[in-house]
Amino acid sequence: MAGDLDELKRLVTAFRDAREWAQFHSLRNLIVSLNLEAGELLELTQWKSDDEIDGLPADFHGREALEDECADVLLYLLLIADRAGIDLDAATRAKLAKNEAKYPVERFRGSRRKYDAAQ
């Protein structure tokens, strides 16, 4: 997966650099933009039932909108990681290890409670 993320990051930064947009990409601006795009992803669910939302991937236009918004979120996440010098592959693996310790399978299988909530 690291190779895939590295290749995507290379493509995204090449796109950015060809347009000389790095000057606008402070860490703050990138984080704000990520959240705006996440809001657009969330907007796809507005006023819809769970069944309608679950049907988005099967609908041509719904799937395209879902793909576009997911891609926008990933594009900004890659730019944030690039700007901050974060290895997303390593960070994700480290976070999974932390979550494994917080949420051991034998205690949390099928449970939605938070790790620090009383049993």
Tell me what pLDDT residue 1 has. Answer: 46
Architecture of the domain whose range is 26-93: Orthogonal Bundle (1.10)
Identify the pLDDT of residue 90. Answer: 96
Amino acid in the structure at residue 15: F
Residues 49-60: tens digit of each pLDDT: 999 999 999 999
CA–CA separation, 83 and 78 (whole Å) = 9
Mean pLDDT over the full length of the chain: 94
What residue spans define the domains of the chain?
A: 26-93
Q: The pTM is what?
A: 0.89
Residue 3's pLDDT is what? 63
Residue 92, pLDDT score:
96
pLDDT of residue 22: 98
Residue-wise pLDDT tens digits, 26-36 = 999 999 999 99
Q: Are 82 and 7 in contact (CB under 8 A)?
A: no
pLDDT at 119: 64
Q: In sequence order, what DSSP letters do the residues of the chain get, joined into one string?
A: -HHHHHHHHHHHHHHHHHTT-GGG--HHHHHHHHHHHHHHHHHTTTT--HHHHHTGGGSHHHHHHHHHHHHHHHHHHHHHHHHHT--HHHHHHHHHHHHHHHS-HHHHTT----TTS--
Q: Which residue ranges of the chain lie beneath pLDDT 50?
A: 1
pLDDT for res 114: 87
